[in-house]
Amino acid sequence: MFIDLGKERPGGPLKTDIAVVGSGPAGLTIARRLQSLGRDALLLESGTFGYTKRAQALNDGDDALGRTSYLRTSRVRAFGGTSFHWVGWCAPLDPVDFAERAWIKHSGWPISKADLTSYYAAASEICELDKLGFEVERWAKLRKQQPLSWNGDEFSTAYFQLSPPTRFGKKYRPEVEASRKITAVLNATVTAVRLESNGASCKGLSVAGPDGKTIEVQARQYILACGGIENARLLLSSNDVQANGIGNANDLVGRFFMDHPEFFSGAMTPADPKLDIGYYVYDSVPKIRGFGSITPTPALTQKVGSINFNIDLKPHFEGMGNSLNTLKHNYWDLSLTLKRREILDNFGRNLSTFFSMVGNGASYAWASLLNREQMLLYADLRHHLECSPNADSRVTVNRHKKDRLGQPVAQLDWRINAADIDGWLRAQEALALTFERAGIARMRIDYEPSKGMKALKIESSCHHIGTTRMHPDPKQGVVDQNCRVHGISNLHVAGSSVFPTSGHANPTLTIVALALRLADHLGRRVP
């Protein structure tokens, strides 16, 4: 059922078994799983059923990169959370992403990919993905297209599925409305996590309605699932018992913020203009939601000291195919901007890109209509990089600047390690040699190290990762392998903020898998 604090106010504290802060993919998944295990859950959502400027304004803060609207627009306060504007890319993390890599400081998870195998399968169903999974050859048979073939063990092809995308709030709202186990409270902004005086356990949450008046929530267990920025902000600002913020005795809350840098850099010119790269073009086959992506193997990343990454191919064809090239490239950014009636920092770029890139699939359809083979002129390379952990890349709070509910605003300082770019460049040089030796293409790399990182025109993927990282040692992480905040018996954190490393894959599928794992851990415990 639903309660809206903008319309009604409970007479006393709300009491429940497990309280979950945030109704995005992590929070909703946890609540639904707990329901299936017979446990009661209270789901607290700062917004309502749709996007509202009043709720979004609570996201405002300071961004060291000077992006004036980034903190407001990169996440959504509404039922369903940021799935409200999720594009839908899905892939599991690679096994190497969980491993300790000697050339990447602070790498390694306290769990392995095997620990998430069954949860990835369940997460795929929740995200409405095809049961074929992510096996490259299975998709090749379905698409009737083959991935590129080259000699050596330095590069491979990964497969991304596209969720419809699942709008978690819309899809799972009827289930919550009918539930006797889930109570979702809208217009309910958690302003403080309350600890017992000894700091060993959580005793409640302070929750403000849209009018600023607060109520208390009391539970046996508490889960923060409100995103990589907000999880850190809430822990840091709740400092009445622990002066540096909850779980921050070792100054780790908010540190190691990661995002996925993305940028265009270089192109490949095929040796044969009849080269078919359709497997890597997500809309080249009607009704197939997915595409291939070029990735380095663990052997290559170890050899050159590189982070993990993936590369999309954006083709340019001769004649009509070229003019109808990639319509959908920035469709989501543009449509979201128009839907919100807000101007994003990169609105001009999105608009120009939208009209200049007209749809990969259209060019394939045109060639088929004319019953002729397409002549591939070249393909741009779009890179999506893992961002290695950097303690100086962080979220803090500005205690001198408050939102309308009196809470200190978040301050974001995203920093990319220069070593990540150096390793990526060495990997691109290896890829160029691989393409050339295999007779696939000549590759151009548009990056001059002397001009620095700014020459790459890096964009954020709006993936907020790592601010409450998972590690069994409280001196190296905020939560343990079961996502419990070190030193606090009944406070847990969900979402990509617990990722120790980011991998190259978009985080939502792993967020949902970890949410299921956490719900099972708590739901099967004796209260």
Q: What's the CATH number where 489 sits?
A: 3.50.50.60
- The letter for the amino acid at 27 is G
Domain hosting residue 60, numbered range: 1-128+165-258+389-414+463-527
| Whether 396 contacts 411, CB under 8 Å | yes
The confidence band for 325, taking pLDDT boundaries of 50, 70 and 90, is very low
Helical ranges in 9-75 per DSSP H: 25-36, 53-56, 70-73
In DSSP terms, 18 is beta-bridged to 41, 221
Phi-psi region of 199 (alpha: psi -120 to 50; beta: other; left: phi over 0): left
- The letter for the amino acid at 180 is R
Q: 216 and 295: one domain? A: no
Q: Which two tokens stand for residue 26?
A: 């992590």
The pLDDT of residue 87 is above 70: yes
| Overall average pLDDT of the 332-348 stretch | 43
Higher pLDDT, 344 or 460: 460
Query: Phi then psi for 227, rounded to 5 degrees?
Result: 100, 160
The confidence band for 524, taking pLDDT boundaries of 50, 70 and 90, is confident
How far apart (Å, rounded) are the C-alpha atoms in residues 252 and 467?
8
Q: 155 and 12: one domain? A: no
Predicted confidence (pLDDT) per residue in 212-254, tens digit: 999 999 999 999 999 999 999 999 999 999 999 999 999 999 9
The domain boundary residue, chosen from 432, 457, 482 = 457
Asked if residue 316 belongs to a domain, the reply is yes
How far apart (Å, rounded) are the C-alpha atoms in residues 279 and 190?
45
Task: Say which range, 8-12, 110-114, 323-327, has the weakest mean pLDDT.
Answer: 323-327
Local structure of residue 5 (DSSP, 8 states): T
How far apart (Å, rounded) are the C-alpha atoms in residues 300 and 9?
58
Residue 283 is predicted with a pLDDT of 78
Asked if residue 329 belongs to a domain, the reply is no
Locus of tokens 């039922």? 79
Residue 319 is predicted with a pLDDT of 66
Q: Is 330 helix (H, G, I), strand (E, B) or coil?
A: coil
User: Structurally, how many domains does the chain consist of?
Assistant: 2
- The letter for the amino acid at 437 is R
How far apart (Å, rounded) are the C-alpha atoms in residues 462 and 405?
25
Spell out where 262-393 has E strands.
262-270, 290-296, 309-317, 376-385
C-alpha neighbours within 13 Å on the C-beta side of residue 133: 11
How far apart (Å, rounded) are the C-alpha atoms in residues 105 and 84?
34
Predicted confidence (pLDDT) per residue in 424-458, tens digit: 999 999 999 999 999 999 999 999 888 888 889 99
Predicted confidence (pLDDT) per residue in 487-523, tens digit: 999 999 999 999 999 999 999 999 999 999 999 999 9
Q: 78 and 183: one domain? A: yes
The pLDDT of residue 63 is above 90: yes
How far apart (Å, rounded) are the C-alpha atoms in residues 88 and 128?
10
The pLDDT of residue 339 is above 50: no
The domain boundary residue, chosen from 457, 489, 513 = 457
Q: 510 and 440: one domain? A: no
The pLDDT of residue 374 is above 90: no
Contacts of 223 (CB under 8 A, 6+ apart): 18, 19, 20, 21, 27, 30, 491, 492, 493, 494, 518, 522
Predicted confidence (pLDDT) per residue in 246-300, tens digit: 999 999 999 999 999 999 999 999 999 999 999 998 877 888 899 999 999 999 9
How far apart (Å, rounded) are the C-alpha atoms in residues 17 and 23?
17
How far apart (Å, rounded) are the C-alpha atoms in residues 321 and 278?
13
| Overall average pLDDT of the 18-41 stretch | 97
Strand bridging mode 89-90 / 441-444: unpaired
Residue 527 is predicted with a pLDDT of 52
The confidence band for 332, taking pLDDT boundaries of 50, 70 and 90, is very low
CA separation, residue 215 to residues 55, 208, 242, 407 (Å): 18, 6, 22, 16
Higher pLDDT, 339 or 496: 496
Higher pLDDT, 354 or 46: 46
Asked if residue 118 belongs to a domain, the reply is yes
3-state secondary structure string across 91-149: CCCCHHHHCCCCCCCCCCCCCCHHHHHHHHHHHHHHCCCCCCCCCHHHHHHHHCCCCCC
Q: 87 and 120: one domain? A: yes
With CA atoms as reference, report the closest residue to 26 among 273, 227, 291, 247.
Answer: 227
Q: 148 and 230: one domain? A: no
Within its chain, how far is the Cα of 107 from the centroid? Answer: 18
C-alpha neighbours within 13 Å on the C-beta side of residue 2: 18
| Whether 506 contacts 208, CB under 8 Å | no
Residue 460 is predicted with a pLDDT of 94
Q: 137 and 94: one domain? A: no
Helical ranges in 197-329 per DSSP H: 228-237, 298-304, 320-323
| Overall average pLDDT of the 383-411 stretch | 96
Q: 233 and 297: one domain? A: no
The pLDDT of residue 366 is above 90: no
| pLDDT, averaged across the chain | 90
Q: 318 and 267: one domain? A: yes
The pLDDT of residue 144 is above 50: yes
Asked if residue 341 belongs to a domain, the reply is no
Number of helices (H) and strands (E) in the chain: give both, helices first.
Answer: 15, 18
Helical ranges in 251-319 per DSSP H: 298-304
Predicted confidence (pLDDT) per residue in 105-131, tens digit: 999 999 999 999 999 999 999 999 999
In DSSP terms, 20 is beta-bridged to 43, 223
Residue 420: which H helix or E strand, with range? helix 418-437
Asked if residue 339 belongs to a domain, the reply is no
Asked if residue 520 belongs to a domain, the reply is yes
Q: 410 and 446: one domain? A: no
Residue 341 is predicted with a pLDDT of 39
For the chain, first and last CA: distance in Å?
23
Q: 158 and 280: one domain? A: yes
Q: 433 and 522: one domain? A: no
Strand bridging mode 89-90 / 309-317: unpaired
Residue 373 is predicted with a pLDDT of 64
Predicted confidence (pLDDT) per residue in 194-214, tens digit: 999 999 999 999 999 999 999
The pLDDT of residue 390 is above 60: yes
Say what percent of the chain tops pLDDT 70: 89
| Overall average pLDDT of the 5-28 stretch | 94
User: Peptide bond before 165: cis, by omega within 30 degrees of 0?
Assistant: yes
